[in-house]
Each structure stands twice: as C-alpha cells, then as structure tokens.
Structure 1
Amino acid sequence: MDNPSPRADEGTALRRATQTIKQLRAQLAQQDASGPIAVVGAGLRLGDGVRDLDAYWSVLAEGRNLISDMPFHRRWPFEDEWDMLPSRGSFIGDALDFDPEFFGISPRAAQAIDPQHRLLLEVSWEALAHAGIDPAVARAEIVSVFVGITGRHDYADWARQQTDAHWALGNGHSFAAGRIAYTFGFTGPAVAFDSACSSSLVAIHHAVGSLRRGESDIALAGGVNLVLSPGSTRAINHTGSLAPDGLCKTFDARANGYVRGEGCAMIVLKRLADAERDGDRVLGVIHGTAINQDGRSSGFTAPNADAQRRVIEAALADARRTAADIGLLEAHGTGTALGDPIEVNAIVAALGARNGGRTLHVGSAKANLGHLEAASGVVGLLKALLCLRERTVPPVANFHTLNPRIELEGTAVRISGNGATWSLDESGALAGVSSFGIIGTNAHAIVGPPPAHTPAVTEVPRPAWNRVTCVPSFLGTAPRATPALR
C-alpha cells in the first residue's frame, strides 16, 4: 500500500485536533454549567462627560442627577418639533462625533451609521482596553458580542427619504453587534437583543450562558441608548410616562413618570477560573442570571409582580444563593406612581420578607441618570459593582418622602435619600440587579465582589481619538457642541 501523502497526514492531524478541542469544550461546558463569571473590564459613556467608573461613582455617591435641557446643537435638525415636546434628560454632548478612520470606515459610510452603533464601537474598544486586552489581538480568542439596543430607528429620520446602501447597512439593530464583530475580527456569537428596557441585562444573561457553555472564551455585553429624533420621545409622551418636571423621582410620593437618558456601557466577561488563570483584574463576579416574561398581566404594558418575584428567585437559584445573601438591590425603579409599588412588593416577596432580619438596601440609578432604556440594565449592574467595591449604598437622588402606595413596615427593605454604609454584619454580601421591559421581558442578575486578591492590570492606552461630527452631508453643516459639553 502506498504511504499516505503529507497533505493527508495534515488533514488527519487537523481532524484529531478539532475533535480534541470539541471534547475539551464539552467538558468545560459541563464543568462550568453554573460557574461564576468575572467582569474584567468596562467601557462607559454617560451624560455630563462621565466616561469611566470613578466619575460614575462620584455622581452616585453625591446623589447628583445629570438631568438638563437638551443642548441646542442636539436639537438639530428638528428644532421646531422639539419645541413642542419634553426635551429634558441626560445627554451625551458629543454623541454625534466619531473617528471613522481609526475603525477603517469611510467618512461617507460613517455619516450613515447610527451614532448608537458608532458609540458601541468606541466603548467596546475602551472596555477591552480597560481589561488590559489589546483589541487588535483579541481575535486570537473566541470572542462573542451581545448588545442591547431598542426603540425606533431614530437616526433613519435624518435621511429624510434619501437612503442608500450605506443607510441600509447602518441603521438596522442587528448591524450593531455584527459591526463590532466584523471590525475587531471576532468569531463568537454576535447578537443584538431588543426586549425594550431590559435589553442590555438580557444581553448579559445570554453572554453568561455563552461562556458557561464554552462557546466563547471572552464576551462583550452591554447596551446603548441615544435620543436622536423627536419621534421616539413623541411616542413615549403619548403614553403619559414622562415626568412633567423632567425628574425621575423613584420611590418618592411625587413620582409621576421618568425622564429619558442617554448612555452606552459594555463589559468584558470571562469565566472566573480563566480570569484567575490569566491574572486578570476582576471588577466583580456574576453568580447567576435569569429572564422571564410577565405573560398575561392586567394590561399589555402593565408590570406583573408575581413574574418579577419569580425572576429574582430564579436568578438566586442559578447563583445557588438565598435571599439572606442579598444586601443591596438595584431596582428597575422608573419613578412611576404605579410601577414602583408593584416592584417593591415583588422585592419584599422575593427578598425583603425572608431576609432574616438583615437590612436590604434598595435604590435605582434612574434617579440620577434618567431612564437609559436599552442601556439601563448594564448601567445598573455597574452601579451594583461600584457599591460592592466601596461597600457603600449611595443616596437615592430626588427621594424625600416614601410613595404612600409602598408599605415597608415590618420588612427588611430600606430606601434612603441620604445613603448608608454597607455593613456586612447587617446586610448580605451580594447585590441583585433588576431590569424590566415594557413588553414584559424581565431580567435579574446576582453579583458579588471580586476575589480577595485580584491583581492590578496594565490597561491598554486609549488612542487619541480624532473625532469629528458625522451627520448626513446633504443636511448641511451640523452645529458643534459647546466646549462645556465636550
């Protein structure tokens, strides 16, 4: 018999190696089916120039809110329409700016790409850099991308019927995740999720599952929300959900709606065992997640307290923890007169009534930032990690008098407008994070502090972004942001 050719030998070796990899991944998936997931990096953009975790913590610790009138340059090209709508919120002043050359995108294509997608590219790069992972070489690993993005295609309104191929590829929600994967060369799953306000926490839930199953080694997960045209605000205003005074007064007796906010956050996730093996700095640990649906509640958009209770209990079960382990809950907390009491009742049923007498602190970043909609879940999770880091419960902004529909007497729940020290003798050591979508999709995550000894990390330096205003050229020259907003 003739000897096999070298090419055949190579093919056999490749098949054997592939089979070995599959077997190892199957073993890993079985071993880590409910294993902890490490948060090893984060990228963040919020209103008022907040661009990192320390700046975000300063806002929370001081009980500040970032609500202001919409900057004049952001009203363009819809000035007349904005005059007839609520236009207070928290805004990213330079949200229309982008560095297309850095990402290998032509200026013409960049003008047609939804600024939410452009922001996700930058923040994803910054999240990887924060983790000490060079985005240029991260493709050597199997990296997945899970993005929460929702709402109307606001930026398409700017085209005014002058669409072309660039606009077709630049504005669909699915392209938000795909463009990140394409730009960085990532080959793991890349999926955009739209479950309304719970989108980013739903994305994180699926990222955790992807890592546990062994189908990816690193996961980027998070969400984005920008207010780019009056259309979405007009639709929300018709529902009566927006607060007339432009403040989100979560849990307060004055609660009468929320205010819209802008933000983008992406986190970098690894299996905890891998992060420890690789010497990564760990910001916190996700122990469990869960999602469910309200089903048939009192109305299509009405919250369901029983479903909210069950999603918290399911996340606890996934984390293999009990109610007594939770010392802080970052609530959905939109500041509506009806929604807040329903949520607190669910919290009491799931955690507050069975907390062994230990204090359960409850708050919501929406009081500081407004409702970041698709980005609210990931920003709430980052707040919980910061509270764990500082062992401090920040004040609930705009909170003065408890909503009379909320009954806390005899429960472990505490809501404070002054903040508190997070004492492990008085409260559990973990935090829960809730995010609920108006379509009825609920999500919850259980997070904890990093291991006792987590190493420092050498972050990848941020580039000197050459950011320019990228808007459709056929609309003329866009106004620039004022220096105070830059």
Structure 2
Amino acid sequence: MSDAETTATTGGTTAGAAATREEKLVEYLKWVTADLQETRRRLAEAEAADEEPVVIVGMACRYPGGVASPADLWRLVDDGVDAITDPPTDREWDLERLNEKCYSTRSGFLADAPLFDAGFFGISPREAVAMDPQQRVLMETSWELFEHAGIDVTTLKGSSTGVFVGIVEESYHGLNVPEELEGFLMTSKLSSVASGRMAYTYGFEGPAVSLDTACSSSLVALHLAIRSIRSGESTLAVAGGVTIHADPGGHIDFAKQRGLAADGRCKSFAAAADGTSWAEGAGLVLVERLSDARRLGHRIHAVIRGSAVNQDGASNGLAAPSGPAQERVIRQALADAGLGAADVDLVEAHGTGTTLGDPIEARALLATYGQGRRPEHPLMLGSLKSNIGHSVAAAGVGGVIKVIEAMRHQRMPRTLHVDAPTPEVDWDSGAVELLTDPREWPRGEKPRRAGVSSFGVSGTNCHVLLEEPEVELQEEPAAEPGSGAGAGGVVGGGVVPLVVSGGSPGGLKGVAAGLLPLVEDGADPRDIAGELVSSRAVLGWRGVAVGSGRDELTANLGVLANGGSGPGSVIGTGPVSAPDRVVFVFPGQGHQWVGMAVGLLDSSVVFAERL
C-alpha cells in the first residue's frame, strides 16, 4: 500500500472514530438533558406536594354534656350549654376524701367513660377491664371517625395511614392492681399503645405516635400529622387527643395551688376569672392531601392553611406561660399559611380562665392579630372551655371541631361566664373582641378563616390556622343527619334496601336505631342506601330493611332496631370480610330460574344494562 493510500485509510478511520465520539457525546448530552428534566420534574412535584394544602375529611368526638359527635358539639356551643357537673359515682372515687381535699369538685366529666364494647374490637373482657379507659374511648372514637369520613376502615389495612395521638393521664389502677389483671398492664397503661393499638387493630403501617405536651397535645399531634402528610410518609392520618381522669389526683393537686375555679367553671378572659376547671374528652380528625381528597371523593370539612409549634424556653417559670413565645408561634403559623393577621376572623383561644394565663394570652393576641385591622373588623375571641372545662390533651382538637362547625353553620357561638373583659389587659391596644354574644359569620368574597391555640404547661405552644373549603367541596352528604334532602313520602325507583351491619346483635340494633331519624327527618333513602354499601365496613351481624315508601322503610327499620325480623326485615350473619366482587345468584330449577331474573330486568335499569 502506498503512503497516499495509507494516509487516506488512516484519515478515514480517524474521521469515523471522531464521528462515533460525536454521536456518543450527543447521546450522552441527550441523556443528561433528559435526566435533568426528570430531576426538575421531581423537584417541582416535591415542592408542589410540600405546598399543597392538607384538608380535614373526617371528625369524631366525645365531650361532656352528652356530646358524642361533631353535631352534638355544635348544639352544645350554639345553645350555650354549661356542661359542668358533680363527679360521677361509677368510678370508685373516694368522694368524701375528695370533698375534704378539694374546695371545688365540679368539672366536665364524660358520663359513659367506663363503658366499652370490647367484643367489637376483638378484646377479651379481662383485658378490657385492664385497659386505660382512654384507650377504650380512643378506639370507639376512631371507628366513628372513619364512618364520619365515609371510609370503610377495613379497606385501609396495609396502608400508610398514620396515627398521632395526644395523651397525658396514666394513673389508671395506680398501685392497687387486681391479680387477675396482671399480664395485661404493660400494654394497657403505656401511652405508646394508645396510638399503637389503633394501628394494630386496623392494620395501619404509617407512623403511630403517642405524645404528651400537656394542654397542647392534640394540636401538636395535628401539626405532626400535617407534616407527615406533606412529606409523603403518610397518605392519610388520624390526629387528636384524649383525657379521662382515672383518679381525682389532678383536682386535688391543683386545688392545693388554688388554681381551680370555685364554682368549677372556666371564665375565659373575664374579670371574674378565678381559675380553671378540669374536663374530660376525646377528639379526632382525619387529614389528607387536598388532591387525594378530591380524587377519592372525600368530603372536605376544612383546609389547614398553616401550623406552628414552639417552646417557651427559659421563661419566668417552668409552668408559667410566655407572652413573647405565644406571639412568635402565632406569627410562625401565619407565615406558614402565607396569611396576614387581618385575614383571620376568629381565634378559638386556649382561655383556661386563670388569672395568670388569660391576660398573657390576650396581650399576645392583641399584639399580633389586633394590629393593622379595621375597627369594624376586629378579631373575635372564643373558648370552648367556658362550656365544658379544660379537657387537657383533648382541648385543642375540640376547638378545631368547634370552629369547623361554626363555619358550616355560619355563626360564632358565644363564650360563657364573661361578666366583663378582664381589666388586667388593655383591650384598646388592638382590635380584639370577646364573643360575649353570638355573631353571624356569613360567607363572603374572601374565605372565612380561624386560628386555634393551645399552650402546654410544659411550655410547648401550638397554633393552627383553618380555612373554609370551596363551596363545591363542602356539600353535605345526602345520608348525613340534617342534610334536608327530602324525597317526599314515596321513594322513587321502586323498593329500596337499607343494608346494616354490626359487630354483635346489640351493635346491629344500634346501627338500625341510628338510621331511623335520618329516614324520618327527610333524607333520601336511596342516598342512605348508597352510603351504607359504599362507605361502611361490613361486619358479621347483618340486617336488611326494605320498603317502597318512607313509612314502610321506617316501620321495617324499626323492627331491626328492636332485634326482630319480618316480611320486610331480615337478620343474619356472614363472613367478617366482604368479597372483592358481588354476584347475583338465581336459585331454582326450570322456568323458576328465568323468572328470578325477569323481575330485576324490568325494575333495575342498571342491572339490565350490565346484563
């Protein structure tokens, strides 16, 4: 080969290699560009997820005054009910000794706190007796929470559902433990089990956290649940708290410090304030991302715009509240929500009725929310504690439920027992006004918003900001009490079956009895029937009441409520877990089989189309 031929060949090889390198470089640059675009997309999604609102899709509660639901709580505060009573007589308390030690024994008590349907949760009677009543009430309230949300909790097994529960009191049994209960006490008294038992019972696999920041526990639990949802570690989260006094030690100890109100009533921010009043209760809310709630069709009760938690630090006393810290936590929550102080209409305050704490809290509110507001638009100030007392670990979440119900009913309830605003505060220093009378709260051009405060005796403070949802997202479900969805005296579309179930015969009767007011008060039975089969767990004891008119349905549902059966009411049992798919079976032989289906073909358009 000549030199010229060699050069030409070498040059061609070099040119080919260069072309190959360029192609590889182009491919590499394409890959890097695509990878950068994917990274940007993921970052954008992460940032959007972090900023996406978290919403409340379910609520449940038990508080003094016979409160067993959010609707009950609204009736209590709207009617201005004073739920303070004498101590219950079913707890084996030494009431004579209590009266000797404590100058004030009246408080807000849960009348049915010792009761528990252990069999419903698969718990033996002996273990149930050993269980701290706070765990019992939490379990029952959690079941009601998912029913309120329209979610079959049995479908959440294995899900990343989180549980965040505030719980303080751990004095159940004390040192006098009956021998037959030994062996159950570790799980029955540990506060960690309060959240863990819930997760275990339902099969949740998200975080399960029990926490104690004293009076701010339930709000701090909600704050942590929000963060868990935003970070993606939970897709759904239960948040709230519980307090039930197993013994009167807290009453006696606070009486020694002269911290109890003489008449057992919290006079929040009042001139007559003379101390706090202890109370019991349990409150839970269910939270998830706004986009998930919309996608799944969950009813949205409120949007959580922001929240913040901080600590008093080295203040003027271990248990003394810190005004500067309270101001900071409010400003931090407003910053988290992207709101100004004037954007908030109402604050459900901590308001314990003490002569030390209330003035400090009022000054913090005046220094934050009270500034830069129009005089005709002051911040309104209320406190649930004036109705029921201070429910400690359940206090903050009770305020959340109260505020959501106030938005729904477009009215701010009054605060009780206020003779006059406390003279310890310069109320002219800002636009803040006590709710000594109810105040209308209609929807306007801007969303209605409210803050809820809790300040723990440990120094841990929390503030949460709530906003009403868009109108189209807050429609009442047709089967909810008081929905007003009427269908007249006749149900359209032929016979309607109301399918109910319970964990026991008594539970089944209770469910049927609970549906009776819905049918009688005008809710459309077709909507009730749909809700019963689409959003309720199917339990072992089952019943069906059928009817083609409201009177017939009411009568047959009443038969189920009394534990009976008849031509229009059937009771039976079945497997606890429902099958994944539903089939129609037409028994019989010969021409009977054909006749079984013909009726459905004529009466059910959906069945005919499907067939």
Scaled by the length of structure 1, what TM-score is found?
0.86
The alignment status of 1:300 with 2:318, answered yes or no, reads yes
Higher-Rg structure is 2
- Return the letter of the residue paired with 1:110: A
- Return the letter of the residue paired with 1:295: G
Could you tell me which of 201, 219, 242 is aligned with 1:183? 201
CA displacement at 1:165 relative to structure 2: 2.0
The alignment status of 1:174 with 2:180, answered yes or no, reads no
Question: 1:16 corresponds to which residue?
Answer: none
The alignment status of 1:68 with 2:85, answered yes or no, reads yes
1:414/1:176 Cα in 2 relative to 1: closer, same or farther (>3 Å)? same
Tell me if structure 2 keeps the 8 A contact 1:28–1:213. Answer: no
Could you tell me which of 369, 375, 389 is aligned with 2:408? 389
Tell me if structure 2 keeps the 8 A contact 1:325–1:430. Answer: yes
CA displacement at 1:34 relative to structure 2: 3.0
* Deviation per residue, 1:414-469 (Å, 9 max, x gap): 113212112567997210000000010000000011221024446797847759xx
Tell me if structure 2 keeps the 8 A contact 1:25–1:215. Answer: no
Question: 2:494 corresponds to which residue?
Answer: none
Question: 2:568 corresponds to which residue?
Answer: none
State the distance in 2 between where 1:348 and 1:272 align: 32
**Would you tell me which structure has more helix in proportion to its own residues?**
2
The alignment status of 1:117 with 2:119, answered yes or no, reads no
State the distance in 2 between where 1:179 and 1:396 align: 36
The alignment status of 1:50 with 2:67, answered yes or no, reads yes
Question: 1:224 corresponds to which residue?
Answer: 242
Could you tell me which of 438, 447, 450 is aligned with 2:466? 447
CA displacement at 1:279 relative to structure 2: 1.0
> RMSD across aligned C-alpha pairs, in angstroms?
2.3
- Return the letter of the residue paired with 1:67: I
Alignment of 1:183-332 (within 5 A): 183-332=201-350
SS of 2:144's partner is helix
SS of 2:120's partner is coil
SS of 2:286's partner is strand
Question: 1:416 corresponds to which residue?
Answer: 435
1:377/1:463 Cα in 2 relative to 1: closer, same or farther (>3 Å)? farther
Question: 1:81 corresponds to which residue?
Answer: 97
1:24/1:424 Cα in 2 relative to 1: closer, same or farther (>3 Å)? same
Tell me if structure 2 keeps the 8 A contact 1:430–1:446. Answer: yes
Tell me if structure 1 keeps the 8 A contact 2:447–2:467. Answer: no
Question: 2:536 corresponds to which residue?
Answer: none
Tell me if structure 2 keeps the 8 A contact 1:78–1:229. Answer: no
Structure 1 spans left out of the alignment, 5+ residues: 1-22, 468-486
Structure 2 spans left out of the alignment, 5+ residues: 1-39, 481-498, 508-611
CA displacement at 1:334 relative to structure 2: 0.3
SS of 1:246's partner is coil
- Return the letter of the residue paired with 2:328: R
> Structure 1 stretch 26-35 or stretch 105-114: which is displaced more?
26-35
- Return the letter of the residue paired with 2:188: G
Could you tell me which of 348, 351, 354 is aligned with 2:366? 348
CA displacement at 1:232 relative to structure 2: 2.5
Tell me if structure 1 keeps the 8 A contact 2:158–2:205. Answer: no
State the distance in 2 between where 1:383 and 1:119 align: 20
* Deviation per residue, 1:383-432 (Å, 9 max, x gap): 11112212211111111211111221252111132121125679972100
1:443/1:156 Cα in 2 relative to 1: closer, same or farther (>3 Å)? same
- Return the letter of the residue paired with 2:217: S
**Count of matched residue pairs:** 443
- Return the letter of the residue paired with 1:288: G
SS of 1:89's partner is coil
1:259/1:464 Cα in 2 relative to 1: closer, same or farther (>3 Å)? farther
* Deviation per residue, 1:8-62 (Å, 9 max, x gap): xxxxxxxxxxxxxxx9998754322132111111111111221111211111112
State the distance in 2 between where 1:429 and 1:237 align: 40
- Return the letter of the residue paired with 2:50: A
Q: Identical aligned pairs, as a percentage?
A: 41
Tell me if structure 1 keeps the 8 A contact 2:447–2:468. Answer: no
1:25/1:188 Cα in 2 relative to 1: closer, same or farther (>3 Å)? farther
The alignment status of 1:36 with 2:53, answered yes or no, reads yes
Alignment of 1:334-413 (within 5 A): 334-357=352-375, 358-413=377-432
CA displacement at 1:245 relative to structure 2: 1.4
> Structure 1 stretch 62-71 or stretch 212-221: which is displaced more?
62-71
CA displacement at 1:137 relative to structure 2: 1.3
